Structure 1
Amino acid sequence: MGHPKDYFSAHAALYAARRPRYPQALFDWLAGVAPGRELAWDAGCGNGQASLGLATRFARVIATDPSAEQIAAALAHPGVEYRVEPAEAPSLAPASADLVCIAQALHWFDLDRFHPEVHRVLRPGGRIAACSYGLCRVDPAVDRVFMHLYEAVLGPWWPPERRHVENGYRDLAFPYRHLDAPPFILGQRWQLDHYLGYLRSWSATQRCLRDTGCDAVAELAAEFAAAWGDPQSERDVSFPLALRVGRVEG
């Protein structure tokens, strides 16, 4: 069964295929600041994008998500053990993990229940890293159509938790000793079809489609195409990455 606020299970395959990939430098850095490289927990793993990045740096990765549909769409890896369970009730052993990673999911958690589990699961000195990516940029012409879709067209269908992604999780409780992190950018090279597929993977796009029968992306496809140019040309699509990192004392 999915999360009580599960906006992604119904289109898990689309989500897996069209979401941006995290930079490898991010996982290098996370592995470098962790006290060891035995076990990483990817909480709210979705389709396992971060899980795969962690798996090349840690001996084991346990990746959890309450959505069986999301995990079914994840790529298998010998170093990743996927478990269908909520982040607030993980089956990991106490003091077992060197790193807890939450990629684009912290805003969905019940933090009053999640943070005690982090303190239970992390070994002394373990790290927690919550990352989120904000609004992507291509160029002014494409971005104008993008913002019209994001705000004017889909505004009513964004869940209230979206504001935490927009502000980089600054307002969410994070009861750990703060660690500074370098800036990272999710830089993608996409053709128009992939870019439009990403916009269709948004929870708001899917909720609008469900409620109205209207494919908001298709309605603006001609405007996106005019701004993009040759649909087969690959354009640079950049997502700023917000990263909050902390240390568990002990």
Structure 2
Amino acid sequence: MLLRPTRFTSRLAPLAPSARFFRSQSAHAMSTLAAFKDYFSASSKAYAKFRPTYPPELYEFLSSLTKEHNLVWDVGCGSGQAANGLSAYYKQVVASDPSSAQIENAPRLHPNVRFEVARAEDDPVAVLGLTPGSVDIVTIAVALHWFDLPRFYERVAQIAKPRSEGGTVIAAWTYILPTFPKGCEPLQEILLNYYHNIVGPVWDASRALVDQEYATIPWPFEHIPLEGKYTEGYGSNGVLRGHFVCERHVDLAMFVGHLTTWSGARRYEELHQIDPLTLIYDDLVKHWPGASEGKGPNGKGELVTLTHSISVRLGRVFSD
């Protein structure tokens, strides 16, 4: 039986006086991101089950940028997709997210990953127990567009290493809509229509930052020069494209499960009192290989390979 869409159920510490990033005009410009918009707690179990993980090649690349491999602060960690992956490359990962439901549903796969409920803008020393100058790399996986950037950047500076120690790497990445394989063009068209025309009008304004692959987000960090193959697709703004992808083999139920975790879907139902997936579900069944005949490993359609292209924005921050 196919998974049908169901109806959704629907401490900021003071800033340090010495904080240096993004005041006045920048803070005002990004004020729309200041409030915690909790679109994910109600779907946290689905988020943990259906959201993609990231390739080991990405973690290997990031680890090559740091002199030491002691501590990661993974911010806006969701249910730990990146935190658990980074655990193989660093001695300790501190993963934080403002949603207690997300943290509760994050799989505890590795003893060196510590999950905490905290906002990106919270004081990482007071709230998370991080020591100033202790963090090798700060990672943000498909979450930076939700942050109050001026305040978050000030928090990053609090725990950054000094220039004499090479500073702290900051890496934020996002991925664009998945690409269906050849022969599944009707499914690609259904997805694009859903994204742009159905939930598109109700996406949060910050979604535009994802569509722009984080290239337009304010980024007050020192440029990290790259060598070898990574010089291709690497811009002066610190955005690296074309080197990392998520590949997932999904049936229709898994694909629909992923779409249920979109904040735009939740927002659509809040406004229109209807699950937007019901508007495309019959077309998905019609065009998904084997779905209408109950074929596939679980009787929910054949497995289809989806490819997400990942864009990574890189920088280095110093405490001094």
1:230 Cα deviation from its structure 2 partner: 1.2
Distance (whole Å) between structure 1 residues aligned to residue 151 and residue 67 of structure 2? 24
Matching residue of 2:25? none
Matching residue of 1:247? 316
Matching residue of 1:225? 285
TM-score, normalization by structure 1: 0.94
Q: Would you say how many aligned residue pairs link Structure 1 and Structure 2? A: 249
Distance (whole Å) between structure 1 residues aligned to residue 141 and residue 200 of structure 2? 23
Q: Over residues 81-110 of structure 1, what are the superposed CA-to-partner deviations in whole Å (9 max), with x where a residue is unaligned?
A: 111111112232211110100000100111
TM-score, normalization by structure 2: 0.74
Matched residue type, 1:242: S
Which of 214, 225, 230 in structure 1 is aligned with 2:274? 214
Distance (whole Å) between structure 2 residues aligned to residue 237 and residue 167 of structure 1? 21
Which of 131, 152, 156 in structure 1 is aligned with 2:197? 152
Distance (whole Å) between structure 1 residues aligned to residue 36 and residue 53 of structure 2? 26
Matched residue type, 2:203: W
1:188 Cα deviation from its structure 2 partner: 0.8
Matching residue of 2:152? 114
Matched residue type, 2:80: G
2:214 maps to 1:169: yes
1:196 Cα deviation from its structure 2 partner: 1.1
Q: Over residues 208-227 of structure 1, what are the superposed CA-to-partner deviations in whole Å (9 max), with x where a residue is unaligned?
A: 22333322213311211222
Distance (whole Å) between structure 2 residues aligned to residue 129 and residue 178 of structure 1? 11
Matching residue of 2:6? none
Matching residue of 2:79? 47
1:150 Cα deviation from its structure 2 partner: 0.9
Unaligned runs of 5+ in 2: 1-10, 12-34, 227-239, 297-301
Matched residue type, 1:174: W
For 1:239, what is the secondary structure of its paired residue?
Answer: strand
Structure with greater proportional strand content:
1
2:90 maps to 1:61: no
Structure with greater proportional helix content:
1
- Bigger drift between 130-139 and 181-190 goes to 181-190
2:15 maps to 1:15: no
2:314 maps to 1:236: no
For 2:313, what is the secondary structure of its paired residue?
Answer: strand
Conserved? CA contact 2:43–2:260, under 8 Å: no
Distance (whole Å) between structure 2 residues aligned to residue 18 and residue 218 of structure 1? 18
1:195 Cα deviation from its structure 2 partner: 0.7
Matching residue of 1:99? 137
Q: Over residues 129-177 of structure 1, what are the superposed CA-to-partner deviations in whole Å (9 max), with x where a residue is unaligned?
A: 0000111111421110001111111123210110101111111111112
Distance (whole Å) between structure 1 residues aligned to residue 196 and residue 209 of structure 2? 16
Q: Cα RMSD (Å) of the superposition?
A: 1.6
For 1:97, what is the secondary structure of its paired residue?
Answer: coil
Residues 67-86 of structure 1: matches in 2 within 5 Å?
A: 67-76=99-108, 77-86=110-119
Unaligned runs of 5+ in 1: none
Runs of 4+ in 1 over 6 A off after TM superposition: none
* Identical aligned residues as a percent: 35
